[in-house]
């Protein structure tokens, strides 16, 4: 059975269909979430949240708007971006509180900030190696949180063109960032 049909059956409460759908989508969902969140343990948590949301909100899936896998991956991307933003906000709150109390940041926090700064610089360098069109598409999708469809609308381009830019840009980024490890 295809993911679209399984998702429709899941919307009706079919547990066996959910098991089959889980087997189909859990790998791609984890891969996407892992690229966004980066931390393996946090990625696993986000995947569980996405799959739970999938069970609860399967009825919201509209086959007329796209494939089930695209819908599930959109849910996963949004949840992963939310987790990254939440972690960033928590770190900023901790820094404000430490500054308010007058104490400097702990050594581990300083080391983490330095490491994060180096990673950001590496990503910036790799983004600079993309074509302007690829960089614009990747930035809108992964930093601004837009879906591919929304990126296409913002750039007044066909969805297929945006998908191609994204695929090529992400491939180039992966190759560039592979040297950072």
Q: Using an 8 Å Cβ cutoff, are 7 and 21 in contact?
A: yes
Residues (pLDDT < 50) of the chain are: 181
How much is the pLDDT for 6? 95
Helix, strand and coil content of the chain, in percent to the nearest 5, comes to 85, 0, 15
Q: Output the CA–CA distances (angstroms, integers) from residue 154 to 62, 122, 138, 146, 169, in the order listed.
A: 23, 27, 13, 9, 18
């Amino acid at each position: 059975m295809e993911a679209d049909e399984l998702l429709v059956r899941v919307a009706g409460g079919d547990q066996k269909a959910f098991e089959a759908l889980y087997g189909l989508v859990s790998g791609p969902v984890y891969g996407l979430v892992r690229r966004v969140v980066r931390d393996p343990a946090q990625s696993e948590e986000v995947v569980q949240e996405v799959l739970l949301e999938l069970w609860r909100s399967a009825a919201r899936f509209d086959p007329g708007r796209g494939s089930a896998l695209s819908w599930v991956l959109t849910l996963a991307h949004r949840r992963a971006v939310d987790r990254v933003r939440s972690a960033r906000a928590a770190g900023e709150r901790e820094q404000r509180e430490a500054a308010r109390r007058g104490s400097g940041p702990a050594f581990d926090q300083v080391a983490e900030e330095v490491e994060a700064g180096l990673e950001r610089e590496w990503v910036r360098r790799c983004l600079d190696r993309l074509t302007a069109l690829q960089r614009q598409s990747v930035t809108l999708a992964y930093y601004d949180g837009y879906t591919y469809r929304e990126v296409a609308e913002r750039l007044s381009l066909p969805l297929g063109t945006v998908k191609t830019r994204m695929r090529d840009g992400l491939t180039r980024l992966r190759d560039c960032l592979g040297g950072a490890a």
